[in-house]
């Protein structure tokens, strides 16, 4: 099954694509981005007054960019990508030599370090690293944040209509237990590691299982659910759950937090057996031509007032404890953004699984093509 046509708002992993080959740099009205050509950037295009970054769409806006320019005199020029894998492929192909800042997710940081693609950070040039909560100062994907700075984080769970779905779901198993009642009115993400991972977690295994038998068990379990799914989608669930066509959807916490204000009957739950705890980061590629500008961008994003605005305006949880102090109570106490420590105990970050990735992909193809 395929997603419905994209809707106006962007999700964490479903973004607009820009085709600008051969065109001069353009400003996109309404999103605040100045986009460089899709052609590979050369070092000559960069100067101390320009900072080229490669990021997820929606991770900043015109106000952030203008404030940074006023503070540093540096003009930010950005390209956007729609997946970690697209970003990695472009950098590996030599098309990212002009970028000085990238925004990879946690598992991709680990992979890029192993490939020797990232600068080891000089903490004498970074201001505000101590603003991070302790649990983000020594992450498993990058001990001591040697090559990356966490920017935002969140979880994956279920959004549901509490008026129509009773009892309320508390775990992934709810989808199987009530599959007949929810038939064709529930969706899963269009993401192999999230969907397989959630099912593995429900079965008592790791999100990052590397035992082929465990992965097959998750696949067999998903086959039971497949006939009852409306679709695998990371985006179309928004309009469908607001219209009442869907009752339950697997989604990212940041996306749920954007949608819930539009319908007071919608709630987000973090499954008790565990889920993914994802982190998006800032890194400097080893080919970065503007190292000074890159460090200034990192320091800017670590400022408490900037991090607080990221949380308020972009609906991402931030790992900056000083920024949290600046948030209004309704955001600070929002459990969909900031779950309790107890509810996070069973969560895991998605990690590279080496050649086992092929096993995940094979079962995913079989599942989604039937």
Q: What is the pLDDT of residues 78-94, one digit of tens each?
A: 888 877 888 998 999 98
| 100-111 burial code (b ≥16 CB/10 A, e <16) | bbbbbbbbbbbb
pLDDT-derived band at 25 (thresholds 50, 70, 90) equals very low
Pairing state of beta strands 101-102 and 266-269?
Answer: unpaired
Nearest partner of 151 among 283, 336, 329, 341, judged by Cα = 283
The mean pLDDT of 169-186, rounded to a whole number, is 98
pLDDT at 36: 37
Torsion sign over Cα 112, 116, 118, 124:
positive
Residue 221 parent element (H or E): helix 212-225
Other Cβ atoms less than 10 A from the Cβ of 3: the count is 16
The mean pLDDT of 128-144, rounded to a whole number, is 92
User: How far apart (Å, rounded) are the C-alpha atoms in residues 81 and 95?
Assistant: 13
pLDDT at 205: 97
The mean pLDDT of 271-276, rounded to a whole number, is 96
Whole-prediction pTM value? 0.79
Other Cβ atoms less than 10 A from the Cβ of 205: the count is 18
How high is the mean pLDDT of the chain? 86
Whether 338 shows a pLDDT value over 90: the answer reads yes
pLDDT at 352: 84
For residue 26, how far is the Cα from the chain centroid?
25
Residue 252 parent element (H or E): strand 248-252
Looking from the CA of 82 toward its CB, the CA atoms found within 13 Å total 10
pLDDT at 269: 97
- In contact, 238 and 246? CB cutoff 8 Å: no
Whether 54 shows a pLDDT value over 50: the answer reads yes
Whether 334 shows a pLDDT value over 90: the answer reads yes
Nearest partner of 172 among 130, 214, 204, 140, judged by Cα = 204
Domains annotated on the chain, with CATH: 26-153+279-338 (3.40.190.10), 154-277+343-369 (3.40.190.10)
């Amino acid at each position: 099954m395929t997603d419905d046509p994209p809707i106006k708002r962007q999700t964490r992993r479903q973004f607009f694509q820009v085709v600008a080959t051969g065109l001069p740099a353009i400003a996109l009205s309404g999103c605040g981005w100045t986009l460089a050509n899709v052609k590979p950037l050369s070092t000559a295009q960069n100067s101390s007054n320009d900072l080229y970054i490669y990021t997820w769409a929606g991770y900043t806006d015109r106000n952030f960019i203008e404030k940074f320019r006023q503070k540093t005199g540096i003009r930010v020029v950005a390209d956007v990508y729609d997946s970690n894998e697209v970003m990695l492929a472009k950098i590996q192909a030599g098309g990212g030599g002009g970028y000085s800042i990238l925004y990879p997710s946690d598992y991709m940081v680990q992979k890029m370090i192993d490939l020797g693609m990232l600068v080891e950070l000089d903490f004498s040039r970074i201001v505000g690293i101590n603003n991070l909560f302790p649990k983000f100062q020594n992450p498993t994907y990058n001990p001591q944040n040697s090559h990356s700075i966490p920017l935002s984080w969140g979880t994956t769970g279920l959004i549901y209509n509490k008026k129509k779905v009773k009892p309320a779901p508390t775990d992934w198993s709810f989808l199987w237990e009530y599959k007949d009642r929810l038939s064709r009115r529930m969706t899963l993400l269009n993401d192999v590691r999230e969907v397989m991972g959630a099912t593995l977690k429900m079965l008592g295994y790791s999100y990052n299982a590397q035992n082929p038998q465990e992965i097959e068990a998750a696949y067999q379990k998903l086959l039971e659910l497949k006939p009852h799914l409306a679709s695998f989608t990371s985006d179309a669930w928004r309009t469908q759950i607001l219209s009442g066509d869907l009752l339950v959807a697997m989604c990212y916490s940041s996306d749920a937090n954007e949608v819930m204000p539009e319908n007071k009957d919608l709630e987000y739950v973090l499954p008790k057996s565990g889920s993914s705890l994802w982190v998006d980061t800032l890194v400097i590629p080893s080919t970065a031509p503007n190292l000074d500008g890159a460090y200034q961008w990192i320091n800017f994003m670590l400022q408490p007032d900037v991090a607080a605005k990221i949380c308020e305006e972009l609906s991402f949880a931030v790992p900056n404890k000083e920024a949290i102090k600046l948030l209004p109570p309704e955001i600070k106490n929002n459990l969909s953004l900031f779950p309790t420590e107890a509810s996070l105990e069973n969560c895991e970050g998605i990690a590279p699984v080496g050649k086992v990735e092929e096993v995940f992909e094979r079962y995913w193809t079989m599942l989604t093509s039937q």
